[in-house]
């Protein structure tokens, strides 16, 4: 009996993934546990292993964007014919390939989606909405008369209809490039880059984001951190200390450990903090779980290990899900506006540390000062509560004795 290969759900907010590469060819014999294909999402790259043995049969091509539980292929018994994918296939098999063929030919293996007035791929519908194009005006070239993404692009490029600006706040208005020179290079965004773009835009459109900025002297913290690291033979960075401090503040101000979902406030006791890691192709946020029950040494070790796995592309789905608060250490610049991760109540952006003049006991002194930028969802967090967070952050950083005890 054929075994379905489907798009796995790699995290709470994942809705679709991209087939970046089939590792094995059509018809090859596959053993259970072998990697059959690579998947790219907005958060990570993932190698999908075979759940059973059999002959590999591809359904979706490389580059296809497939929804969670959508059909990717089959593992077949010897001599078994692949099941016929029909309009009545279960929801798990109703995935629509949205990859655009480079030669403008219809992509094979597409599956009809029930209930559509205009048969079309998700990619075609998304692009049409972005460009303000009515799909009923587009000439389809896909299998069984479906409109594919290439059809929408061709329709737009011929000028058959002018784009109507979208003003519903959910999709961007088409950018008018008339009068601009021809680009020297056009690069399709990767699945991760597309995911980040959609995630950030959605966050800005669905939250009331407000940023608070404060300069905090960190000279004493850095001095104690260096002494503690040496005596405990553990490499601890400022980021590790900031994470521990934030965990303590969040446990005392629980609104920062909540999420707004469908007009309901979800509150959590366990503090799970995501720490952003920059990658060449984007950004990923490994989550450090249960920060309050971790010692500073354990927190430092877990964070450093997660950072290394992030840079190597080896994070597991569990390691990038579940965070309710995020810390993003940008450095270089002082003030910036970090954008909330969708659903979260707050994100702390850490800027550059530099020497500045500060007033201490009516005297001017030169101290190492770091700029902290707290963005909150004003739907959840009032200004006074955000200010209280920054006040406690400043107090703990300037007097960090309790952290290094």
Active-site positions read 378, 382
The C-alpha angle with vertex 308 and arms to 242 and 223, in degrees rounded to 5, equals: 35
User: Which helix (H) or strand (E) is 367 found in, with range?
Assistant: strand 363-377
For residue 119, the number of C-alpha atoms closer than 13 Å in the C-beta half-sphere is: 15
Which H, E and C letters describe 319-355, residue by residue? HHCCCCEEEEECCCCCCCCCCCCCCECEEEEEEEEEE
Neighbours of 295 (CB within 10 A): 11
Handedness of CA 56, 59, 61, 66 (dihedral sign): negative
Give bridge partners of residue 344 from the DSSP assignment: 259
Contact indicator for 342, 379 with CB cutoff of 8 Å: no
Concatenated DSSP letters of 302-322: HHHHHHHHHHTT---GGGGS-
Q: How far is CA 275 from CA 117, 144, 171, 243, 269, in A?
A: 44, 47, 29, 8, 19
Q: Which of 347, 376, 386, 345 is nearest to 261 (CA)?
A: 345
């Amino acid at each position: 009996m054929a075994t379905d290969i489907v798009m796995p759900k790699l995290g709470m907010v994942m809705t679709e993934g991209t087939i970046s590469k089939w590792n094995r060819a059509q018809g090859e014999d596959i053993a259970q546990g072998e990697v059959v294909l690579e998947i790219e999402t907005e958060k990570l790259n993932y190698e999908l292993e075979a759940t059973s043995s059999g002959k590999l049969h591809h359904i979706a091509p490389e580059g296809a964007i497939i929804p969670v539980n959508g059909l990717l292929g089959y593992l077949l018994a010897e001599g078994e014919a692949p099941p016929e994918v029909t309009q009545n296939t279960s929801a798990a098999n109703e995935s629509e390939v949205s990859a655009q063929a480079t030669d403008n030919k219809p992509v094979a293996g597409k599956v009809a989606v029930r209930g559509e007035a205009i048969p079309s791929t998700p990619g075609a519908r998304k692009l049409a909405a972005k460009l303000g194009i009515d799909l009923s005006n587009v000439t389809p070239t896909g299998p069984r008369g479906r409109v594919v993404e290439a059809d929408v692009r061709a329709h737009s490029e011929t000028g058959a209809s002018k784009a109507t600006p979208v003003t519903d706040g959910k999709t961007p208005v088409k950018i008018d490039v008339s009068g601009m020179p021809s680009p020297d290079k056009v690069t399709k965004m990767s699945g991760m880059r597309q995911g980040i773009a959609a995630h950030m835009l959605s966050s800005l459109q669905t939250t009331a984001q407000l940023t608070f900025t404060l300069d905090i002297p960190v000279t004493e913290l850095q001095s104690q951190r260096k002494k503690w690291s040496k005596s405990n033979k553990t490499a601890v960075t400022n980021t590790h200390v900031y994470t521990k401090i934030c965990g303590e503040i969040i446990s005392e101000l629980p609104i920062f450990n909540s999420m707004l979902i469908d007009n309901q406030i979800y509150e959590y006791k366990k503090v799970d903090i995501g720490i952003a890691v920059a990658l060449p192709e984007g950004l990923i946020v490994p989550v450090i779980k249960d920060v309050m029950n971790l010692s500073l040494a354990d927190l430092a070790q877990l964070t450093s290990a997660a950072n290394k796995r992030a840079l190597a592309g080896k994070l597991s789905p569990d390691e990038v899900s579940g965070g309710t608060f995020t810390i993003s250490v940008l450095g270089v610049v002082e003030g910036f506006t970090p954008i909330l991760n969708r659903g979260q109540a707050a994100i702390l952006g850490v800027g550059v540390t530099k020497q500045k003049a500060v007033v201490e006991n009516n005297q001017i002194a030169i101290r190492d000062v770091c700029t902290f930028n707290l963005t909150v969802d004003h739907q959840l967090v009032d200004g006074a509560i955000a200010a209280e967070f920054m006040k406690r952050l400043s107090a703990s950083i300037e007097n960090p004795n309790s952290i290094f005890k």
